[in-house]
Structure 1
Amino acid sequence: MRVVICGAGQVGFGIAERLAAEQNDVSIIDSDARRIQLVTEQLDVRGIVGWGAHPDVLARAGIDQADMLIAVTLHDEVNMVACQIAHALFNVPTKVARIRAQTYLAQEWSDLFSREHLAIDVVISPEIEVGEMVLRRLSLPGAIDTVSFADGAVVAAGVICAEDCPILNAPLQQLTDLFPELHATIVAINRNGRTIVPSGMDQLHAGDTAYFVSQADQVERTLTLFGYDEMPGQRIVIAGGGNIGFYVARELEKRNPQARIKLIEHDKERAQAIAEATERVLVLNGDALDHSILDEAGVGEADIMVALTNDDRINILSCLLARQIGARRILALLNEQGYAGFARGLGIDAHVNPRQITVSRVLQHVRRGRICGVHALLDGSGEIIEAEALETSPLVGKALRDLNLPDGVRIGAILRDHKVLQPRGDLVVRAHDRVVLFALAERIKRVEQMFRVALEFF
């Protein structure tokens, strides 16, 4: 696949890294020559210095031969114009744009991105995507990563196995007999930095991070079996009133009438605007690293402190201060990939990575075959994928035990007629089933082939 990416920031670099590793032909555009130098030194991609909204720059990047344009610069307007030019002048089949300003996404302007107007095929809003991820984390204490599939019917979640985890040191194939109430399938294990796709004979060890797939209404019960039985917190302090912090506060106010929400925002005008736009959110104007402001926000009695500023260091430090003061749980927004392990070592319960979330959304539209959803895990070492099995798929008509799936692939759940089915050995896959599975990065091409339209791809 030939792809042109506009923007070589964290998101653009992350997308280019994944696509180049999968042997796609990638060109990346950025107005910053230093960024282009860095990306071309580290990745096997073509770099072009210039503005992605200029036709001549797009032409130099090979847009006339591209299958897809992905516009993820920091400027919405550049992204939109780049997509329009790719459509009007170069007839690019698929155009993806990152749109951050919520006014463009308002319901009353829903026709803006139609083919008759701006001709953008896929609009990605990082603030909404990340905000929803934060809200899922708040609703599922104990999970370090959560994502929904199959229109919300299936959830994949990650959990750290503590020393007292009840299901340690037992073969996975015996867990159903030992714990009949376990309605989940463990699809991946991260042990000492290495990602494992387990077989039935594998066991969980203390310190492992396990990823399981479950019916949505069984996730809390599954977390309990891992030793996490906390109720969602009702006393919530949010540090940062940017687009993500405001979205989370406003949605919490709507979805959880019992929640007591306090928000700390450094900018006085922004704090005032949030106070006027919400009804039950107590907004404090101050610094999230100021001990007196944290005390005023009641962090010592908070069920959870959520740090959502634009600065990773402030997020980490404010969470550590909150923990020291007495917050029961802490969650941080971390943009830098390398901070994740560092933050966990400091005792931060969970983190959200906006780049990983945005890259996952883009990959959903890059993947070939009938791919419905994608979420990258564990620094890109694997993906949870939702795909539809067509009549020509080699999966259809066979019991799962007879599928002979490649190593590095494990099915977690199947959705059939709005019903979630666990992947038992005698279950026969039918046409139009939606399959949720985990695949190591090096097996993703094989997964795409399993869900393509025609048999000649095999």
Structure 2
Amino acid sequence: MRVIISGAGQVGYGIAEKLSIEGIEVTVIDSNADLVQRVRDTLDARGVHGHGSHPDVLAQAGAKDADMLIAVTQVDEVNMTACQVAHSIFEVPTRIARIRSQTYLSPEWANLFARDHLPIDVIISPEIEVGDLILKRMAYPGASEIVSFEDDKVMVIAVDVREDCAVINTPLRHLTDLFPNLQATVMGVRRNGQMHVMSSRESLIAGDQALVAVAKDQVSRVLGLFGRDEQPPSRVVIGGAGNIGRYVARKLEESGEGINVRLVENNRHIAQIAAESLKRSITVFGDALQEDILREVDIRDAQMYLGLTNDDETNILSSVLASELGCKANFALVNQPQYPRFARRLGVDAFINPRTVTVSKVLRHVRRGRVRGVYSLFDGAAELIEAEALDTSTLVGKPLREFNIGPGIRIGAIMRGDEVIMPHGNVRIEAGDFVVVMALAAQVRQVEQMFRVSLDFF
């Protein structure tokens, strides 16, 4: 498979890094020579210096023989033009574009991206993707990570294991006896900074961060077993009134739940846009790192603070300050993968990495076979995969106990129509089932083989 990536920033580099590790032929285009050189020096990928929307540059990158173009520069119009050129001149089969401006994504202009107009197969809006994930986290504040699959029938949550956890030091195979109606599977843990796939003979210990696949209607029950069943916030302060901050505030307004939202923004122009575009939320012009500003928005009475500025340090430090001033919980947008390791020690409750969200969305469309969803965990240490089982899948037809799936892989849930089935030895996967699997990075290819379309597809 040959993939061209236009844009070598954080998102483009992250996609190229992931695909090149998996042996996919990748070429990265960027107008910044330093970024192109970084790709050449650190990745098993080609780097081309130039504008990704220019035909001669795309030709140099091998667009004539490319299977996919992924346009993720910072400029929407460059991404859209690159897709148009790739389609009209080079007939690249699949075109993916990052589009940030919400006006392009308004439903009334949906026909703009039809094949006869701007031929873009997949549109990625980081602001919407990240914003929706934040809203899900807010609905279940006890979870530090949430991934949803198959129209939210199944969710995978990451939850901290503390001393008061009801299932601590209990072999996982006993959980079915203790909670016979519980639709949940502990797939793995992050322990001492390392990802570990759990077997039914093992137990959770204090300090783990557990990854649990659970039917949506039982998420609150599972969080309760971990001692983390917390109520969604009714008063929220958002640091940063940019695209993500405004999107979250708007959705909270539209929820009709009467949530009190206040935003803090240190850019006067952006603050003015937020004040004019939001109906009930209050926007304050000021710095979220200043105590008097946070006190002005009544941070002491807030249940949650969201650090959603474009600056990681501001998001982390303002989250810590908000907690010190009395806010019940905090959440930070963090782009640098090394920051969460120490930010948690400072008192930041939860994080989200926009790059990881965007890369995961792109990987869903790059994967081969019937893989429908992919989500990278902990900077690529493991992945959650949602795949459809076909007749040719090696998993179909026999009880799970007869398969030697091997280490590093754990099935979390099986979805059959409207039914959610938790895996155990007697369960048989049928053709047409959707299966949620956790795999360590080294085993991802094995999972793809398990759900292959045909023997010669790979």
Shorter-chain TM-score above 0.5: yes
Query: Equivalent residues in 2 for 1:97-136 (5 A)?
Result: 97-136=97-136
Deviations 1:406-433 (CA, angstroms, capped at 9, x unpaired):
3211111111112111112211111111
> How far, CA to CA, are the matches of 1:282 and 1:352 in structure 2?
24
> How far, CA to CA, are the matches of 2:12 and 2:163 in structure 1?
39
Query: Equivalent residues in 2 for 1:290-329 (5 A)?
Result: 290-329=290-329
Supply the AA of the counterpart residue of 2:178.
L
Offset at residue 275 of structure 1 (A): 2.3
Q: Which runs of 5+ in 2 are unaligned?
A: none
Supply the AA of the counterpart residue of 2:227.
G
**Equivalent position of 2:353 in the other structure:** 353
Contact 1:449 1:457 in 2 (8 A): no
Deviations 1:321-371 (CA, angstroms, capped at 9, x unpaired):
111111110100011111111211111000111000000000000110101
Contact 1:303 1:329 in 2 (8 A): yes
Deviations 1:49-96 (CA, angstroms, capped at 9, x unpaired):
111011111111111111111111001111111111111111111111
Q: Secondary structure at the match of 1:292?
A: helix
Structure 1: 4+ residue segments shifted above 3 A: 179-182, 455-458
**Equivalent position of 1:177 in the other structure:** 177
Q: Secondary structure at the match of 2:261?
A: strand
Q: Secondary structure at the match of 2:17?
A: helix
Offset at residue 264 of structure 1 (A): 1.1
Contact 1:182 1:225 in 2 (8 A): no
Supply the AA of the counterpart residue of 1:315.
N
**Equivalent position of 1:39 in the other structure:** 39
> How far, CA to CA, are the matches of 1:339 and 1:119 in structure 2?
38
Contact 2:400 2:426 in 1 (8 A): yes
> How far, CA to CA, are the matches of 1:147 and 1:20 in structure 2?
25
**Equivalent position of 2:331 in the other structure:** 331
Q: Secondary structure at the match of 2:222?
A: helix
**Equivalent position of 2:71 in the other structure:** 71
> How far, CA to CA, are the matches of 1:313 and 1:104 in structure 2?
31
**Equivalent position of 1:405 in the other structure:** 405
Q: Secondary structure at the match of 1:237?
A: strand
**Equivalent position of 2:425 in the other structure:** 425
**Equivalent position of 1:10 in the other structure:** 10
Identify if the C-alpha distance between structure 1 residues 273 and 456 changes in structure 2 by more than 3 Å, giving closer, same or farther.
closer
Matched, 1:252 2:252: yes
Deviations 1:93-152 (CA, angstroms, capped at 9, x unpaired):
111110000111110111111111111111000000000111111111121110110011
> How far, CA to CA, are the matches of 1:377 and 1:3 in structure 2?
23
Q: Secondary structure at the match of 2:189?
A: strand
> How far, CA to CA, are the matches of 2:120 and 2:12 in structure 1?
18
Matched, 1:53 2:72: no
**Equivalent position of 1:160 in the other structure:** 160
Supply the AA of the counterpart residue of 2:170.
A
> How far, CA to CA, are the matches of 2:273 and 2:356 in structure 1?
30
Matched, 1:386 2:386: yes
Matched, 1:234 2:229: no
Supply the AA of the counterpart residue of 1:88.
S
Q: Secondary structure at the match of 1:414?
A: strand
**Equivalent position of 1:281 in the other structure:** 281
Q: Secondary structure at the match of 1:380?
A: coil
Count of residues paired in the alignment = 458
> How far, CA to CA, are the matches of 2:213 and 2:422 in structure 1?
9
Deviations 1:355-400 (CA, angstroms, capped at 9, x unpaired):
0000000000011010111111011011111111112212111112
Deviations 1:7-31 (CA, angstroms, capped at 9, x unpaired):
1100011101100111111111111
> How far, CA to CA, are the matches of 1:57 and 1:9 in structure 2?
18
Q: Which runs of 5+ in 1 are unaligned?
A: none
> How far, CA to CA, are the matches of 1:252 and 1:448 in structure 2?
38
**Equivalent position of 1:29 in the other structure:** 29
**Equivalent position of 1:195 in the other structure:** 195
Q: Secondary structure at the match of 1:455?
A: coil
TM-score norm. by structure 1 comes to: 0.98
> How far, CA to CA, are the matches of 1:449 and 1:67 in structure 2?
20
Supply the AA of the counterpart residue of 1:419.
E
> How far, CA to CA, are the matches of 2:40 and 2:169 in structure 1?
45
Offset at residue 457 of structure 1 (A): 5.4
TM-score norm. by structure 2 comes to: 0.98
Contact 1:393 1:455 in 2 (8 A): no
